[in-house]
Chain A
Amino acid sequence: MSRFLKVLTLAAVVSLGVGAAEAGKFGLGREATPEEIAGWDIDVRPDGQGLPEGRGTVAEGEVVFAEQCAICHGDFAEGAGRWPVLAGGWDTLKSQNPVKTIGSYWPYLSTVYDYIYRAMPFGNAQSLTPDQTYAIVAYLLYMNDVVTDEEFELSKENFTSIRMPNEDGFIDDGRPDTPLVSEVQPCMTDCKEEVKITKRARIIDVTPEEDGETAGINVD
């Protein structure tokens, strides 16, 4: 055994000796109680893990949505002003102006529940009851034609049976998707005969465009 390895081994033994009873543990923190976890563990997954007991119908959702959501998202989830459009947008993903709504883009229904409960209504997060959240999600399914019956009731029990139209619209990261140095050594001298300016930044002010066009990005 080399001297270096001996030192390493000794260091490992010493560090084990210094640690608490269980290896790698510092004895920090305290156990979280079930009540504490229940209060903060609000996430919902596509397989339904995390869904609370509850239910709500499209009709109930329409009422809650009008009270809590419509001021920003419009009565029919069409979006008010710059706020996100939540319904429609079908067949736009290949266009110059893709409209990425719950119906046209979002792959899983659980995302809708998870996000609404944790972050909505904007400025009063985590204030909705599970029943209200189920009802809003049911209403959004209806506005996106994923369900067509106004009497439809969404619940913990039938939640995972709902499939979203664009579930198959997502693929894995394909990068690197441009040539590496090993493939194309970049040119250093006399690389081009001629260079022309093809695009210029718009004469742009830090105010909204008259037509609301936003240069291909919507941050919200």
Chain B
Amino acid sequence: MSKSDRPEKGIASPSRRNLLKAGLAAGGLAATAGFARAAEPDPYNLPPNVADWSRYLGVGVDNAPYGMPSEHESEVVRRSVEWLTASRESSINFTPLHDLDGIITPNGLCFERHHGGVAEMNPTDYRLMINGLVDKPLIFTLEDLKRFPRENRIYFLECAANSGMEWRGAQLNGCQFTHGMVHCVMYTGVPLKYILEEAGLKTNAKWIMPEGGDAAGMNRSVPIEKALDDCMVAFKMNGEALRPEQGYPARLVVPGWEGNMWVKWLRRIEVGDQPWHAREETSKYTDLLANGKARRFTWVMDAKSVITNPSPQAPITHGKGQTVLTGLAWSGNGRITRVDVTLDGGKNWHQARIDGPSLPKALHRFYFEFDWDGSDLLLQSRAYDETGYVQPTKDELRAVRGENSIYHNNGIQTWHVMANGGVENVEIS
């Protein structure tokens, strides 16, 4: 596509109504879930007229003591897929990745995953117990935790089952649903090392078992090397207290590793000499292979990327011409070093531009600007990390793991952009 192909402004741009129809035809979900609704402009507000907001005073300070997004952003919300789970208390919803930019997820949009609902915990009655293979079992209050030296770290958190519905083929139309079990915030908290060392680790301390104070009593086994490396007990996200649904008042942070291990409402850490083989690391969060054997302790989230715009919930509404493609990439093994994108289903690839901070185990934002000629596109992105890992195709993953894994699907995603700007989730040869 060259600049000379660029059409005149306003020509060949699909009407809103047609696009909505296209979205419906392409995916169904688009119509009910998150399809941006742009209203027709009101000429009264446009130049040369002077809009009411330029003429009359607006509301004063303290109109909203805790500020909320514009009413025009009411579509930007977490969404769930009802049929996925038997109950709301043990369920999941998804971050609206297609509506966001940069690398930080707003607190209220971080996806939720609970196994026994949200524990409504009183910070005054919060206690963290450390017991097991320690010199002195300890109990900390929240205030105690805040007296340790603090760290601020930006990390992504991805559910091991993110993209799990896509193992057998394209299923859901929307990157919110295919990739929205990920978020990235700045945590403020205490290195777990300090807390464990305060109790004093015995020489045979090899594992820890963090346990939640929720009605699921979530428990996982974490090797001591990881616990002493970069784990944190966090009490703030993006500068403010953890949201209740993210583990208020304190949660475990296990950078780069699957979200299930980031135990929320953390109430206890037992130190031991062997793993516990808890339900969430045997019955669940194990990766069943085609030969009937299952991998266990598959903790790391491998390098992955997805194009968030255009995507099924974010079609191209402006017609031909200058177009911004953007997306997210991340790796549980460190920094993303490069992202390639293709517009033609992998015939030719282009190196995307990473913009914003490049931090280990954090989301990275990439862009690729191009001149769309209005023809069908097959979009993919391919991430590389600093360990030399390259994001594989879904078929490469299936070849080694089969289709029953559920977890750790980091395969390359394909979006089909149609001539009318609508986008559908596909797989290609």
Q: Which residues of A contact B (CB under 8 A)?
A: 22, 24-26, 28-32, 36-37, 40-43, 45-47, 49, 72, 81-83, 93-94, 96, 98, 100, 102, 105-108, 110-111, 114-115, 118-119, 122-123, 125-126, 169-182, 184, 186-192, 194-209, 214-217, 219-220
Contacts and interface: CB of A to CB of B under 8 A. Distances in A.
Given A28-B148, A181-B384, A205-B32, A195 B428 contact: yes
Given A40-B129, A197-B427, A201-B425, A191 B348 contact: yes
Nearest to A178: B392
A173 B283 contact: no
A30 B408 CA distance: 40
A207 B80 CA distance: 11
B83 A208 contact: yes
Given A26-B194, A111-B283, A220-B86, A206 B33 contact: yes
Given A111-B282, A169-B293, A217-B406, A176 B302 contact: yes
Given A36-B139, A201-B425, 20 more contacts: A24-B198, A41-B270, A43-B209, A94-B291, A96-B404, A107-B282, A115-B283, A125-B116, A171-B293, A172-B296, A173-B300, A176-B302, A191-B348, A201-B27, A204-B172, A206-B80, A216-B165, A216-B167, A216-B168, A216-B403
A43 B295 contact: no
Nearest to A44: B276
23 contacts: A28-B147, A29-B140, A37-B131, A40-B211, A41-B270, A93-B292, A100-B288, A111-B283, A119-B115, A122-B90, A126-B217, A170-B296, A172-B295, A173-B295, A177-B400, A196-B428, A198-B427, A200-B424, A201-B425, A204-B29, A204-B172, A214-B84, A216-B406
Contact of B82 (A26, A81, A206, A220): A206
Given A37-B137, A195-B428, A199-B427, A42 B85 contact: no
Contacts of A214: 83-84
B429 A100 contact: no
Q: Interface extent on B, as a size class?
A: 35 or more
Contact of A217 (B164, B291, B345, B397): B164
B429 A196 contact: yes
Interface string B108-132: 0000000110000000000001110
Contacts of A72: 86
A175 B287 CA distance: 11
Contacts of B84: 214, 217, 219
Contacts, number: 281
A111 B429 contact: no
Contacts of B347: 190-192, 195
Interface string B159-185: 001001101111111000000000000
Nearest to A81: B86
B396 interface: yes
A175 B137 contact: no
Nearest to B159: A219
B198 A25 contact: yes
A76 B267 CA distance: 35
A51 to B, nearest CB: 13
B274 A45 contact: yes
B400 A178 contact: yes
A93 B288 contact: yes
A188 B351 CA distance: 9
B306 interface: no
